Amino acid sequence: MSNRVVVLVSGGIDSATALAHAKNEGYDCFALSINYGQRHVCELKAAAAVTQQVGVIEHKVIDIDLTKIGGSALTDTDIAVPSEPIAGIPITYVPARNTIFLSIALGWAEVLDAQNIVIGVNAVDYSGYPDCRQAYIDAFENMANFATKAGVEGKHFKINTPLIDLTKSQIIQLGHSLHVDYSLTISCYDPDHHCKACGVCDSCRIRADGFRKANLADPTHYRDSQNT
Amino acid sequence: MSNRVVVLVSGGIDSATALAHAKNEGYDCFALSINYGQRHVCELKAAAAVTQQVGVIEHKVIDIDLTKIGGSALTDTDIAVPSEPIAGIPITYVPARNTIFLSIALGWAEVLDAQNIVIGVNAVDYSGYPDCRQAYIDAFENMANFATKAGVEGKHFKINTPLIDLTKSQIIQLGHSLHVDYSLTISCYDPDHHCKACGVCDSCRIRADGFRKANLADPTHYRDSQNT
């Protein structure tokens, strides 16, 4: 059985922690980032920095322009990123994003003869996102084993979600114990052109709260003095 | 319920027929083609011609460079397209291709509020491709309803495979009855720079045999005199 794993790395806290966790478990890590036309390239810079810090065999960036599809505040500049918490499924939900990302990861995993894929979804980041639930991950894994040559030949693809039941502060504590340098990561939905965080969007709030509850200093680079 | 449908259109016989079938059933058709770095752009030109002939609300082309992943004769120029029939899953199988394509279609369908997606997979074109089987389609559909906001809100996504049980000649007869101009389509895995077909690859063989069995003239543009 192959010791290789494909890890989706976004540049945020969760995927950085999931990558460090896979590395710590002894896997040969192949990191995959998707340049999907997100509002800023800060995520991709962060992904490159994180993969270098943790150490991977290869870091691949695949381009797919989801702004052509739109439908989300993250992929349509006509839709504003909200600065207040929102009920239900947020406007930052990108239609089918995790499905598209996992599908690309599946293709690469098959080429690499890797049977494991890691995605850093979790209950807090869920925030109402349907494609961060375990039921969704299970359905994707089932589909993946019908989709592929490897699946037909009896190899079983596994979609690993090591963080799915952890709170943000537990994730931060785990990553801290694995020496993840979170100053390299970015969570903000709306950073400035220096990649400094706004401090007010949903994602910034969850992140700041996570460091607070983990009793760890928040290394986030905020713009102005918005670090509350 | 929305009357919109997203149809994956590759430029080949099957997707042209599936598109004409959806149009004939009264759907508002949104055609999606993926520029995935296939060996030739002939497919995309054919897709544009076919969607124009059949008539769609919109034809969208999304770029994703699967040559960065490779692993197939269609996405890796170091792997030759075979000119003899092959047993098992062919080297022209592109890892997770239909999964990636359907995932993008799913994202667009959600933005369009379309609950139907059409893909022209069928038993003959299957040729050992795992992602052309009904069991795979069912697993994808199940996953799609966990993946999306629409699914969570109780709308049911349906992946339609109108051709899955048809032979190539039956598909051609169906399309013929729907006035599909097959001279616009291309099936060859290895066309020349004029987009003329080789006549010897697996896909050319299946296509030529289909016209023969349907008792219809083969309108394929072959290079030299390879039309046997």
Which CATH number covers residue A149?
A: 3.40.50.620
Over residues A178-217, the pLDDT tens digits come to 999 999 999 998 899 899 999 998 889 999 999 999 999 9
Note whether residue A82 is domain-resident: yes
Note whether residue B202 is domain-resident: no
Note whether residue B227 is domain-resident: no
d(CA A121, CA A123): 7
Q: How far is A78 from chain B (nearest CA, A)?
A: 14
Q: Which of A62, A94, A103 to mutate to test the interface with B (most CBs of B within 10 A)?
A: A103
Note whether residue A228 is domain-resident: no
Note whether residue A224 is domain-resident: no
Note whether residue A222 is domain-resident: no
Q: Which residues of B touch A156 (CB under 8 A)?
A: none
Q: Which of B8, B103, B134 to mutate to test the interface with A (most CBs of A within 10 A)?
A: B103
- Side chain identity at B65, as an amino acid letter? D
Choose the closest CB to A104 out of B89, B100, B149. Answer: B100
d(CA A64, CA A74): 14
d(CA B118, CA A176): 47
Q: How far is A212 from chain B (nearest CA, A)?
A: 31
Note whether residue B214 is domain-resident: no
Q: How many domains does chain B fold into?
A: 1
Over residues B50-84, the pLDDT tens digits come to 999 999 999 999 999 888 887 766 677 676 766 66
B152 in contact with A at a CB cutoff of 8 Å?
yes
Over residues A16-67, the pLDDT tens digits come to 999 999 999 999 999 999 998 766 689 999 999 999 999 999 999 999 988 8
Burial class (CB in 10 A: 0-12, 13-18, 19+), A55: exposed
Give residue A83's pLDDT band: very low, low, confident or very high (50, 70, 90).
low
Q: How far is A150 from chain B (nearest CA, A)?
A: 9
Note whether residue B113 is domain-resident: yes
Q: Which residues of B touch A60 (CB under 8 A)?
A: 68-69
B63 in contact with A at a CB cutoff of 8 Å?
yes
Residue of A nearest to B104 (CA): A100
- Side chain identity at A75, as an amino acid letter? T
Instruction: Count Cβ neighbours within 10 Å for each residue of B31-69 and write b for 16 or more, e otherwise.
Output: bbbbebbbbbebbbebbbbbbebbebeebbebebebbeb
Over residues A1-13, the pLDDT tens digits come to 689 999 999 999 9
Q: Which residues of A touch B155 (CB under 8 A)?
A: none
Spatial contact of A196 and A155, defined as CB atoms under 8 Å apart: no
Cα dihedral: B80, B85, B88, B93 (round 10) = 40
Over residues A89-119, the pLDDT tens digits come to 666 667 888 999 999 999 999 999 999 999 9
Q: How far is A144 from chain B (nearest CA, A)?
A: 8
ipTM of model: 0.89
Q: How far is B153 from chain A (nearest CA, A)?
A: 10
Cβ contact (<8 Å) for B107 and A130? Answer: no
Write down the pLDDT at residue A9. Answer: 97
B72: tokens are: 């197939």
Please report the number of interchain residue pairs, chain A to chain B, with beta-carbon separation below 8 angstroms: 147
B37 in contact with A at a CB cutoff of 8 Å?
no
Burial class (CB in 10 A: 0-12, 13-18, 19+), A212: middle
Q: Which of B68, B93, B146 to mutate to test the interface with A (most CBs of A within 10 A)?
A: B146
A78 to A71, A75, A167, B120: CA distances (angstroms): 10, 9, 32, 34
Residue B2: which of B59, B62, B61, B57 has the closest Cα?
A: B57
Expressed as residue numbers, the domain containing B113 is: 4-187
Choose the closest CB to B140 out of A89, A97, A143. Answer: A143
What average pLDDT is seen over chain A? 88
B127: tokens are: 């040729």
Cβ contact (<8 Å) for A69 and B144? Answer: no
Cβ contact (<8 Å) for A130 and B152? Answer: yes
Q: Taking the CA atoms of chain A, what radius of gyration do you get in angstroms?
A: 17
Over residues B161-219, the pLDDT tens digits come to 999 999 999 999 999 999 999 999 999 988 998 999 999 988 899 999 999 999 999 99
DSSP states of chain B: ---EEEEE--SSHHHHHHHHHHHHTT-EEEEEEEE---S-SHHHHHHHHHHHHH--SEEEEEEB-GGGT--STTT-TTSPPPSS--SSS-TTPPTTHHHHHHHHHHHHHHHHT--EEE----HHHHTT-GGGSHHHHHHHHHHHHHHSHHHHTT---EEE-TTTT--HHHHHHHHHHTT--GGG----SS--TT--B-S-SHHHHHHHHHHHHTT------BSTT---
Write down the pLDDT at residue A135. Answer: 92
Residue A17: which of A210, A204, A173 has the closest Cα?
A: A173
The pTM (predicted TM-score) of the whole model is: 0.90
Q: Which of A32, A132, A137, A143 to mutate to test the interface with B (most CBs of B within 10 A)?
A: A143
d(CA B173, CA A120): 48
Q: Which of B72, B104, B112, B117 to mutate to test the interface with A (most CBs of A within 10 A)?
A: B104
Chain A neighbours among B 69-128 (CB < 8 Å)?
Answer: 69-71, 89, 93-100, 103-104, 106-108, 110-111
Q: How far is B140 from chain A (nearest CA, A)?
A: 6
